[in-house]
Structure 1
Amino acid sequence: MCTVIIRVPEDPRRPTRVIAIRDEDPGRPWNPLGRWWPDSHPGVIGVHDVRAGGAWLAADPATSRFAVLLNRADDGTLPDDAVVSRGTLPLASVSGHSPSGSPRSRGFNLLEASPAGARVLSWDGASLRTTDLTPGTHMIAHDDLDDPQTARITAWLPVFAAADTDSDPWWTQWLRVIEQSAELAATDDRALIRDHRHIGIPTLSLLVAVASIDPDGVEVRDAVLPAPGEWGPLTFGDAPAGR
């Protein structure tokens, strides 16, 4: 149940801005931003899922492509032995291969961004839909883009939309919105920093990533929360070389 905020510019020469909050089982091993696929995807930077080998988030600075994955419910008819890991999707996407047809994976929302625009591909096990993002600020979680039935989107999308992303660093005001949201309990439906264990799902917010996509490349950084499901001061590392 990750959360992604994206601002698409009116002028395509201006950067697209993204903040992504990763919710995952703290016991599932992962690696922070790096080049973890030198043979299959040389030059691609991503957050590495050690167990399945794929990525939650990926970027190719050479082509200015960016993708991040969010899980969503599906119809559940695909047998377990036929499922392909969703972590293959961001890697394929930034390599120029978007999902098509009937993906052999569980349900997902896949955000793709480049200087040409941004879109969300949504798979529910029955149909694959594509939603092009209009200029402005949008949010994605476990249902549809800007879904008014998702409490955190209803609560915070207007606040993110009103916040400036031209400060230095650009993500300052958006982080302040997340900090404000953290006054809520992590179990609150409106929370952005989340804990899902009370509903039987072992995932908590672990990581925040910021990304800026423009014709010159992709700049992406990440920061780990002080503890799973707990907000605190974040330290973003330097963007991996290659922009």
Structure 2
Amino acid sequence: MCTVVIRVPEPDRGDVRILAVRDEDPGRPWLPLGAWWPEHPEVEGVMDQLAGGAWLAHDDRRLAVLLNRAGGTDLEVPTSRGSLVTGSLTGVPMPDPLTTLGFNLVEASAEGVRVTSWDGGTPRVTDLAPGTHMIAHEDVDDPRTARVAAWLDEFAATPTEGERWWEGWIDVLRGTTAVEAADDRAIVRDNRAHGFPTLSLLLAVASIGPGGVTAEMATLDEPGVWNEPKLP
């Protein structure tokens, strides 16, 4: 039940901005943003050590990040979704048929942002218009998603300019923690009350434009509990 906020600029008017919050089982091992794939030294990402894929990763031109959603394959042992992120960056076509559980895959470059959503049947691809967007476990900007309905307008109203462009969005994120971590509106989350073993573990910020990709991450000192992120 991760959350991603995306700002798509007007053509030739700046970089794509991304704020992503990762929810995962704290007991599932992972590695922080780094170059963990020797066969693809150009790729840096947050690696899932169990399956070898990534939650979020980038090269010098593109970034991809994955969010879970309901549905998907009915296979008893689904394929890991993390390979879709690394595959996006290394030119591996999306498998057909898909054998994972449901997902939203966000792919960003200087040319724009697209989201591939799959919960069974044919994947749906959405090219995002200029503006600010938000996605979690349902569709992009879906008003059925309580956190989108609660906070999208506030993120949209907050500038993302300057060297430390993310600071305004971090202020908004901090404000969202006024609701309890189990509240449907929460972005920094404790999902155990909803039947999932996942809590918010980290956040990442990224800028994608003609000059390349920059990405930084910070972990939460305690899963599901806000603390000031230690971003550079």
TM-score (norm 1): 0.92
1:91 counterpart residue number? 86
Matched AA of 1:58? A
Q: Distance between the aligned counterparts of 1:93 and 1:75, measured in 2?
A: 19
CA deviation string 1:29-74 (max 9, x = no partner): 10100000012x221000010111110001001xx11000000011
Identity, % of aligned pairs?
Answer: 55
Asked if the contact 2:72/2:118 (under 8 Å) is kept, the reply is: no
Matched AA of 1:105? T
Q: Distance between the aligned counterparts of 1:8 and 1:97, measured in 2?
A: 25
CA deviation string 1:137-173 (max 9, x = no partner): 0001000010010000000000000001014400001
Q: Are 1:165 and 2:160 matched, yes or no?
A: yes
Matched AA of 1:4? V
Unaligned runs of 5+ residues in structure 1 are 238-243
How far did 1:126 drift? 1.8
1:43 counterpart residue number? 42
Residue among 188, 210, 213 paired with 1:215: 210
Asked if the contact 1:102/1:126 (under 8 Å) is kept, the reply is: no
Q: Distance between the aligned counterparts of 1:60 and 1:52, measured in 2?
A: 20
Matched AA of 2:19? I
Residue among 66, 78, 99 paired with 2:75: 78
Q: Distance between the aligned counterparts of 1:24 and 1:231, measured in 2?
A: 15
2:26 counterpart residue number? 26
How far did 1:116 drift? 1.3
Higher mean C-alpha deviation, range 139-148 or range 101-110: 101-110
How far did 1:23 drift? 0.2
Matched AA of 2:3? T
Asked if the contact 2:190/2:198 (under 8 Å) is kept, the reply is: yes
Q: Are 1:66 and 2:63 matched, yes or no?
A: yes
Could you say what the CA RMSD is over the residues aligned between the two structures, in angstroms? 1.2
1:5 counterpart residue number? 5
> In structure 2, the residue corresponding to 1:207 is in which secondary structure?
strand
Matches within 5 A, 1:145-164: 145-164=140-159
1:240 counterpart residue number? none
Q: Distance between the aligned counterparts of 1:226 and 1:129, measured in 2?
A: 36
State the number of aligned residues.
Answer: 232
| Greater than 6 Å deviation, 4+ residue runs | none
Asked if the contact 1:101/1:128 (under 8 Å) is kept, the reply is: no
